[in-house]
Amino acid sequence: MSDNIIKVPDLGGDGEIIEICVQVGDRVEAEDSLIVVESDKASMDVPAPFAGTISEILVKVGDTASEGLEMVKLSADTAQTKQSESVETAAEPEPAPESNPAPSASSPANAESETLVKVPDLGGDGEVIEICVQVGDEIDAEDAIIVVESDKASMEVPAPFAGTVTEVLIKTGDNAGEGVPMIKMKTGSAPAAAQPTASAEPQPAPIEPSQNETAKPTAAAAAAAAADSQIISTRNKKVHAGPSVRRIAREFGVDLGEIKGSGPRARILKEDVQEFVKTRLKQPVQAAPVATTGSGIPAIPSIDFSKFGPVKEVALTRLQQVGGANLHRSWLNVPHVTQFDEADITEMEAFRKAQKEQGVKMTPLPFIIKACTTALKRMPQFNASLNPDGTALIYKEYCHIGFAVDTPDGLLVPVIRDADKMGLQELSKQMVELAGKAQQKKLSPAEMQGACFTISSLGSVGGTAFTPIVNAPEVAILGVSKAGLKPVWDGSEFKPRLMLPLSLSYDHRAINGADAARFTTLLSKLMGDIRTLLL
Ligand code: CAO
């Protein structure tokens, strides 16, 4: 065992250490994350260059991670010491040895040096179907140099760094096997992102951007590019587009199948996507996405139903369109799970009916809202939202409850503010008032905002269970179905009990399954004995 000081490699700029992923005594494998660094562009894991045991940590969260900063001491196994020495050298800002370049590019050692860029490992051979550069072109890192087509996919081979093309050594029709020279490039300076890392030799990758950046023509990057730039069929149409164009299209939610490419072989260029988005923005509001979705999701083919029989097309109301788009967004973004349960509301119903006889009309819903606010107080993780990047839970110290109202124009969700501070009668009054306003289209935007948790009651309609869609960024929604009499075993005999079906859908990123089961169990308990609501 020997101690090796592991230093921060060239990250292409400074960043702040936001996480230390190891502790003294930890055994790490090569490539395991040591620290996470955040710059203004991305957060990146800095991996261990070889396997070993952490003997000392030399940095702390908040430190500036500059190139050469000593991060940890790593005791390598004896067998690995030799490799570790070269690793430490590699972590120093020294040029890569010219004699053993990575398969993709020889590293530019000096400013203005000419660099031979070769085809990286693409996971198999393919035919060059397009040359994307000419002599004299100034290209950026990741710009496509050639397009290779195999029997599985077409893929762009990106430039490993920015520079000027000085010679093109490959032509269409050539076989693009690993190591085939593609172009020569002149670089102004030795760029960090272009440092060749992955190769047949297990060299340490100095850094791996965690945000899906593929700056280096590694085997993994090539595979990702291959997957990304596969010729996909959208609306029964083949599209040619590279990874960067596909990324932009995904960001804008654009279906590439709708775009006519202006590049060679109808290839879709960045400008085509930008132009498409500009044109779309000028058009009136789009209907909720039905046949096409973007985000790389296969589109549902549009069908002429009149081929099969008479049809009539009726436009969705604006409310249905907007509501549909919101539901679709939640459905796509939130990993949903639904927890089912039943509450014995026999006693609650007896109380409600007694109240009714005395002239206090109330449906079960105010009781359900009351039970929910009480449960939300006890389990505040349900009265919360994930922050936008999903790294923290924002707990709300208020408790506003949304409830779904079915109107002829579509679904509306008015919000009862500070529902936790109200008694049953006040809740009932608010509910009736807001539901009435919803029916008459008189709800103000403020009356539909700020909910922490939503209830969707189909109890007056029927059904035994359903899976409601979480009203994101809320983290859970309670679906309520129709209560019915069921024989329930009380330990000595079956008794007829009025059972209320509950369906709790939740965002599994924020809520774990056990807590969801605890929440519905708590709700059942509270509704089973409404005296507990007073506690
Ligand atoms: N089980 C059995 N009976 C129920 C019940 C339940 N879970 N919930 C309500 N009922 C009964 C009520 O008690 C009432 O009967 P009585 O007059 O005899 O007391 C009857 O059903 C009608 O109730 P209601 O619909 O007038 O009142 P509500 O408080 O239950 O609901 C509101 C109000 C606005 C939520 C409801 O009218 C509504 O719009 N629900 C639809 C919500 C919806 O569409 N959700 C789906 C969203 S996802 O697409």
Q: What is the CATH number of the domain that holds 476?
A: 3.30.559.10
Contact 399, 373 (CB under 8 A): yes
**Which amino acid, residue 92?**
E
Which numbered atom of ligand 1 lies nearest the CA of 483?
A: 1
Query: Dihedrals φ, ψ of 90, to 5°?
Result: -65, -30
Tell whether ligand 1 has an atom less than 6 A from the beta carbon of residue 404.
yes
Instruction: Compute CA 531 distance to the chain's CA centroid, rounded to the nearest angstrom.
Output: 43
Q: How many residues does the chain have?
A: 535
Please give, one letter per residue, the 3-state secondary structure of 164-230.
Answer: EEEEECCCCCCECCCCCEEEEEECCCCCHHHCCCCCCCCCCCCCEECCCCCCCCCHHHHHHHHHHCC
Q: Which one of 207, 225, 255 terminates a domain?
A: 207
In a domain, residue 189? The reply is yes
For residue 203, what are the domain limits?
Answer: 111-207
Q: How far is the CA of 356 from the centre of ligand 1 (A)?
A: 16
What are the beta bridge partners of residue 247? Answer: none
pLDDT at position 105 is 43
- 205-225 exposure pattern, b = at least 16 Cβ within 10 A, e = fewer: bbbbbeeeebbbbbbbbbbeb
Q: Which one of 149, 176, 207 terminates a domain?
A: 207
Residue 76 and residue 197 share a domain:
no
What is the rounded CA–CA span in Å between residue 208 and residue 217?
A: 12
Tell whether ligand 1 has an atom less than 6 A from the beta carbon of residue 74.
no
Q: What's the rounded mean pLDDT across residues 153-159?
A: 76
Residue 125 and residue 91 share a domain:
no
What is the rounded CA–CA span in Å between residue 472 and residue 66?
A: 39
pLDDT at position 244 is 66
In a domain, residue 11? The reply is yes
Q: What angle do CA 509, 512, 514 make, to 5 degrees?
A: 170
pLDDT at position 89 is 29
Q: How far is the CA of 411 from the centre of ligand 1 (A)?
A: 14
Contact 445, 436 (CB under 8 A): no
Which numbered atom of ligand 1 lies nearest the CA of 461?
A: 21
Tell whether ligand 1 has an atom less than 6 A from the beta carbon of residue 406.
yes
Tell whether ligand 1 has an atom less than 6 A from the beta carbon of residue 482.
yes
pTM for this prediction: 0.53
What does the pLDDT look like over 7-52, one tens digit per residue?
A: 988 877 788 888 888 888 888 888 788 888 777 656 677 888 888 8
- Residue bearing tokens 């002149």: 186
The string of DSSP letters for 279-324 reads HHHHSPPPPPPSS---TTPPPPPP--GGGTS-----PPPHHHHHHH
The string of DSSP letters for 462-475 reads --S---PPP-TTBS
In a domain, residue 143? The reply is yes
pLDDT at position 111 is 45
Which numbered atom of ligand 1 lies nearest the CA of 460?
A: 21
Q: Which one of 99, 127, 150 terminates a domain?
A: 99
In a domain, residue 228? The reply is no
Tell whether ligand 1 has an atom less than 6 A from the beta carbon of residue 459.
yes
Tell whether ligand 1 has an atom less than 6 A from the beta carbon of residue 458.
yes
pLDDT at position 223 is 30
Q: How far is the CA of 406 from the centre of ligand 1 (A)?
A: 10
What is the rounded CA–CA span in Å between residue 154 and residue 161?
A: 22
Q: What's the rounded mean pLDDT across residues 499-510?
A: 98
Residue nearest to atom 11 of ligand 1 (CA): 460
Tell whether ligand 1 has an atom less than 6 A from the beta carbon of residue 407.
no
Tell whether ligand 1 has an atom less than 6 A from the beta carbon of residue 365.
yes
Tell whether ligand 1 has an atom less than 6 A from the beta carbon of residue 96.
no
Output the six-digit token pair for 29: 């494998």
Q: What's the rounded mean pLDDT across residues 240-259?
A: 75
The total number of structural domains in the chain stands at 3
Scanning 73-197, the segments in alpha helix (DSSP H) are 78-91
Q: How far is the CA of 364 from the centre of ligand 1 (A)?
A: 8
pLDDT at position 371 is 98
In a domain, residue 317? The reply is no
What does the pLDDT look like over 380-433, one tens digit per residue?
A: 999 999 998 899 999 999 999 999 999 999 999 999 999 999 999 999 999 999
What is the rounded CA–CA span in Å between residue 53 and residue 26?
A: 6
What does the pLDDT look like over 207-219, one tens digit per residue?
A: 222 333 222 322 3
Q: Which of the residues 240, 336, 400, 508 is marked catalytic?
A: 508
Contact 127, 174 (CB under 8 A): yes
In a domain, residue 74? The reply is yes
Residue nearest to atom 24 of ligand 1 (CA): 460
Q: What's the rounded mean pLDDT across residues 464-481?
A: 98
Which numbered atom of ligand 1 lies nearest the CA of 407?
A: 39
Residue 153 and residue 25 share a domain:
no
In a domain, residue 327? The reply is no
Residue nearest to atom 9 of ligand 1 (CA): 460
Q: How far is the CA of 450 from the centre of ligand 1 (A)?
A: 23
Across the chain, what does the average pLDDT equal? Answer: 80
Dihedral-angle region of residue 320 (phi above 0 means left; psi in -120 to 50 means alpha; beta otherwise): alpha
- Other residues' Cβ atoms within 10 Å of the Cβ of residue 126: 24
Residue 64 and residue 43 share a domain:
yes
What is the rounded CA–CA span in Å between residue 257 and residue 296?
A: 10
Confidence tier at 264 by pLDDT (50, 70, 90): low
Flag whether pLDDT at 287 surpasses 90: no
Residue nearest to atom 45 of ligand 1 (CA): 456
Q: Is 336 a catalytic residue?
A: no
Tell whether ligand 1 has an atom less than 6 A from the beta carbon of residue 363.
yes
Contact 412, 405 (CB under 8 A): yes
Residue 119 and residue 9 share a domain:
no
Tell whether ligand 1 has an atom less than 6 A from the beta carbon of residue 457.
yes
Q: What is the CATH number of the domain that holds 92?
A: 2.40.50.100
In a domain, residue 45? The reply is yes
pLDDT at position 220 is 30
Residue 450 and residue 399 share a domain:
yes
Of 511, 457, 505, nearest in space to 338 by CA: 505
Residue 484 and residue 395 share a domain:
yes
Which numbered atom of ligand 1 lies nearest the CA of 480?
A: 7
What is the rounded CA–CA span in Å between residue 477 and residue 453?
A: 6
Which numbered atom of ligand 1 lies nearest the CA of 363?
A: 13
What is the rounded CA–CA span in Å between residue 312 and residue 40?
A: 53
Residue 181 and residue 36 share a domain:
no
Residue 440 and residue 465 share a domain:
yes
Output the six-digit token pair for 321: 């369109």
Number of alpha carbons in the 13 Å side-chain half-sphere of residue 500? 28
The pLDDT > 70 percentage for the chain reads: 78
Most confident of 76-85, 126-135, 194-203, 417-426: 417-426
